[in-house]
Chains A and B, each alone.
Chain A
């Protein structure tokens, strides 16, 4: 009898057991995220690096070469895998779409936080949310049926190229940059604006000299998020860019980005072949760029915090 009571008193209660179980299970799910992220990096890096150590492609030639035909070998016996056209195009469409989208995103952000009436805000907000949610294939379809024929009629040629890709990406990254800019502007304390106005600044002066400055790290972060989305966008770009692996000559010559090449070719190559390895190297570049954008955001956020103090 005593032993029974002792056991009951000393053994953990039902609540304690639940607590332990809950903590363990939730920890395992969190740990799963670690495993998952590393699995993605390891698997893609493993295949992506094969091009360099197994297929004897020189990394420098891979990054700067302009001829892409990994099935064939050049005079030195190395596969012809020059990814420069795709890397250059990817960077170009990303930068140019961000350059066009940023002023508009800033204007909408400022308008929503500083000028708009409550009613206008109630219309603009859901509209931006809706546009964040429009699937990329829909943008691609619109680009293909409206923009490409428009380009063909205006500039001649096929109509495919960097320009329609930039315009499609403009619509895709605009809501991303806008909503993050709005958050950054909203986070600036009202007292900053009041102080500027009290000193006799006009509304625009208070926005331009005070609010923008204070929100700058947040705005930069928003732009980088937009660029990261543009760099990684696959289908919408693939549908309007033309998909020929040539250095872009002008804004309406058919070319190819990293993502468009991956989308259209990975299913056409055999696992383990040189062609396939080369495509995985492109995927690895995408992955590394995504990590780079992440580091950049971290750096800016840290900098912003230090300046704030």
Chain B
């Protein structure tokens, strides 16, 4: 066949394939939003779930997801900031450093169910924490740590050496250079990374089924005593998250209106992920402009 014709044909085929995928993706999002959103109401978001009866909401699950996300970030950001700074700024170019980088790759590609089982084994059983928010948050840290660390390491590495030399030439110590010059410079990238990983944490279920558990005891939102089992702030209570709730509704099939609740909950999850994505872009751009003084 004529090469020109092949060229033309190849382009057409590629366009068709891209078109198919684009249509499928739009259909997926459309389906979830169309079936889920009409069920959505302020009431749905703020009433407790039902185990068997129809008409349950997702109040506690939504709060559990948010609370777990906050705790997981509070633990994993400082840790990954430290590890990222060490790897990018202090680590000598030797075998140990390469070894740590390899381990980070291994950790980040572990299936989340394996991470969840590790959390179950060590935190829930060995450390006797039971199915609790704390077990869940620590497991999510294992899951989030490698991603955030390489995000921070890459962000720091992308800063030009002149900025480091500038700091050192002014008589600053390396630590002061990192704290005063490099970190502020990389804040936009780090924030983007944190927000994107938040989306992943928010939707994660496999790592949580056996760590934060599959039950959501009714919470009393007026009880602010973190030691009380019905307090939303208690970290030792079992806490089913939104994603785990969807999974459980669909695998146990006890709830009558499982389909409706899962569609609505899926729509919430997708909207949150979308929100995090938009936020990541927006914050990244905005901070970038502010910090670099560009337009």
Contacts and interface: CB of A to CB of B under 8 A. Distances in A.
Contact of B3 (A104, A202, A225): A202
A142 B14 contact: no
A138 B79 CA distance: 30
Interface in B197-243: 199-200, 202-206, 209-210, 243
Given A137-B203, A174-B21, A234-B111, A23 B277 contact: no
Contact of A138 (B81, B86, B246): B246
A33 to B, nearest CB: 6
A175 to B, nearest CB: 9
B68 interface: no
B85 interface: yes
A131 B28 CA distance: 10
A37 B173 contact: no
Contact of B112 (A18, A126, A234, A283): A234
Contact of A290 (B81, B109, B121): B109
A36 B107 contact: yes
A203 B14 CA distance: 13
B256 interface: no
A107 B105 CA distance: 27
Interface string A267-290: 100010000000010010011001
B247 A130 contact: no
Which of A15, A26, A30 neighbours the largest number of chain B CB atoms within 10 Å of its CB? A30
B106 interface: yes
Interface of A is mostly: helix
B90 to A, nearest CB: 5
A29 B243 contact: no
B251 interface: yes
Interface string A209-222: 00000000000000
Contact of B125 (A208, A233, A271): A271
A232 B109 CA distance: 9
Contacts of A264: 251
A215 to B, nearest CB: 15
A15 B117 CA distance: 44
B176 A29 contact: no
Contacts of A103: 17
B52 interface: no
B283 interface: no
Interface string A117-152: 000000010110111011111101110111000000
SS class, residues of chain B in contact with chain A: helix
A238 interface: yes
Interface in A218-242: 225, 228, 231-235, 238-239
B42 interface: no
B93 interface: no
Given A19-B173, A129-B277, A204 B11 contact: yes
A30 B86 contact: yes
Interface stretch (A40-48, A66-74, A187-195): A40-48
A161 B204 CA distance: 24
Interface string B253-287: 00000010011001001100110110001000000
A26 B85 contact: yes
A294 interface: yes
A99 interface: no
A263 B172 CA distance: 53
B268 to A, nearest CB: 10
Contacts of A34: 99-100, 103
B106 A37 contact: yes
